[in-house]
Structure 1
Amino acid sequence: MWLVLCDDSEQLNPSRAGLGHLVGLGAVLFPEETVALYSTRIKAARAELGVPPIAEIKWSPKSGSWFKTAEGRPVRAELQRRMIDAAVEAGARSISVVWARGRLEWEIPRVRAMVLGFLYDKVSNFLRNQDPQGRGIVVADEPGGNSAEQHAWLADTLPLTTKGTKFNAPTRIVMPILMAPSHHVPQLQLADLVAGVTVGAVAGSPYATALMPNLLRIASRDEGGRVGGTGLTLWPPDLANLYWHVCRDTTRRDRGGEYVLPHSGWDYHIDAGTPAA
């Protein structure tokens, strides 16, 4: 059994040209036997670094967070590094999906539903590849808004776990998707980091881009070692060269063929589309 923790992230105005509003979901998957190990490692790291018990670890801390103080700012990067180290030790894997609305400008609720469906498929595929009988439980961070909106979000996820998708029957995820407040769950705080860094790197953020090589240590990969299409799915498909710029994939499988990246048939072949490119 695997525990799957997921969180969302968005970027309204990416610095990378030609993307538009980015909508993303990130998930971390833990084998059940290492869930407690990760919690123990993070608890120890927080104590050693002097992080207050009430300080939630966030990719983008809100105003008033301890991580925004003079004492907390220097700790943030070190704690993020230790989070990833602990995830590597625990055998965790990450899966993310990012949709560029500037390329396919569907209405936001429809995009969010599609991104969730993509993530459900990628997680299901991962579980099947680990074990023909592989199963998982999904826990999502509580979305913003009041309880009625949270209940509506949960109701919208039910078709995935009762009917499945076009590509996966509802057999891998063994329960309806659950919600939990991330400030109580260290594994959800790692999912926040995965979602935030990945969407930020796709958006062209220098800070997020600098963190990606470390985060890629836990990215799910295909049999050829590629992150693209497995640990990270970008939509629409003409963004495939970003698998090179963001993940350093050197090849891309597409419709039965294999292409060297960056490929002249897709955007961002000449440069990365960022101000520094």
Structure 2
Amino acid sequence: MRLIMVDDSEEKQPVRATIGHLVGVGAAVFPEDKLTQYSNGIRALRQELGVPPETELKWSPGDGSWLKSSEGNKIRTRLRKGMITLAAEADVRTVTVIWDRGRLNWPLEDTRRAVLKYLYDKLSLYLRSGASPSLGVVIADEPGGGRAAQQAWLADTLRLTDLGTEWTKPEQIVLPIVTTPSHHVPHLQLADLVAGATVAAIAGNKYALQLIPDLQKIAHRNSKGCIGGAGVTLWPPKLGNLYHYIFDDNDNWRGNVGITLPYNGWDFVDDDGLSNNSSQEPPSEKAS
């Protein structure tokens, strides 16, 4: 059994050239028997770095958070890297889906439904992969936007877990997706970090890009060893050369058909779209 923690993130003002409003959702997949190990590790990491017990560990902390104080700023990178190291030690694997509305400008709510459906498919494929296929239970951070928005989101997820999609039957994820506030759930806070940092890296945020070597250690890879299309899925597909520039993939595979990256038929053939002003840190925003 796998416990799958899910959170979402957006970037409205990317600094990477030609990238538009990004909408993403990320999952951290925990082996059932490693949940306590990760919780204990986070507790020790907090004590080591002096993080107050009431502080929620978020990629983009809100105003007033201790993580935005001078003391919090000093340890933020060590905290993020420590969380990912603990995840790697607990055999966590991550799956993230990111949609560029600058290239495919669907209505925002339709886009959010689409990335959730794609995540469901990618998680189902992950759970079926390997020598020992597994079942999964999904726990998501409580959506913002009030009770009506939460009920609508739950209705969308119920359709997925009841019916599956045109590509995936509802066989691996065995219960309806449940939600809970992330404030006291360190495993959900890891999902926030994964979703927020991965979306921000696609946007060109230099602090997120500095975390990519760490995030690569826990990203799910396909049977060819590539992250693109497995641990990270970018939509539309013309973004696929970013798998090479950001995640070091030299190939991209669909089934048994592979192409060498960078590929002339996609965007970002000659470079990664970043200029000298990419040192900005645009805000990551929680979808609401």
State the TM bucket, normalised to the shorter chain. over 0.9
Deviations 1:195-234 (A, max 9, x none): 0110011111111111111111000001111000000000
Higher relative contact order (CA 8 A, sep 6+): 2
Q: Distance in 2 between matches of 1:188 and 1:236?
A: 27
User: What SS does the corresponding residue of 1:218 show, helix, strand or coil?
Assistant: coil
Sequence identity (%): 51
1:153 equivalent in structure 2: 153
For residue 134 of structure 1, report the CA deviation from its aligned partner.
1.4
Deviations 1:80-138 (A, max 9, x none): 11101110110000000000011111111111101000000000001011456510000
User: What SS does the corresponding residue of 1:153 show, helix, strand or coil?
Assistant: helix
What are structure 2's unaligned runs of at least 5 residues? 279-288
What are structure 1's unaligned runs of at least 5 residues? none
For residue 257 of structure 1, report the CA deviation from its aligned partner.
3.0
1:247 equivalent in structure 2: 247
Q: Distance in 1 between matches of 2:114 and 2:131?
A: 26
1:60-71 aligned at under 5 Å gives the runs 60-71=60-71
TM-score (structure 1 length as normaliser)? 0.97
Deviations 1:3-50 (A, max 9, x none): 000100101111112221100001000010001110010011101211
Runs (4 or more) in structure 1 with deviation over 4 Å come to none
**Alignment: residue pair count:** 277
For residue 145 of structure 1, report the CA deviation from its aligned partner.
2.0
1:2 equivalent in structure 2: 2
Deviations 1:136-174 (A, max 9, x none): 000011111222321221112111000001111111111
User: Which amino acid counterpart does residue 99 of structure 2 have in structure 1?
Assistant: W
For residue 179 of structure 1, report the CA deviation from its aligned partner.
0.4
1:166 equivalent in structure 2: 166
Deviates more, 1:259-268 or 1:211-220: 259-268
Deviates more, 1:222-231 or 1:146-155: 146-155
TM-score (structure 2 length as normaliser)? 0.93
2:75 equivalent in structure 1: 75
User: What SS does the corresponding residue of 2:150 show, helix, strand or coil?
Assistant: helix
Q: Distance in 2 between matches of 1:40 and 1:90?
A: 11
For residue 255 of structure 1, report the CA deviation from its aligned partner.
7.1
Q: Distance in 1 between matches of 2:260 and 2:49?
A: 43
User: Which amino acid counterpart does residue 123 of structure 1 have in structure 2?
Assistant: L
User: Which amino acid counterpart does residue 70 of structure 1 have in structure 2?
Assistant: S
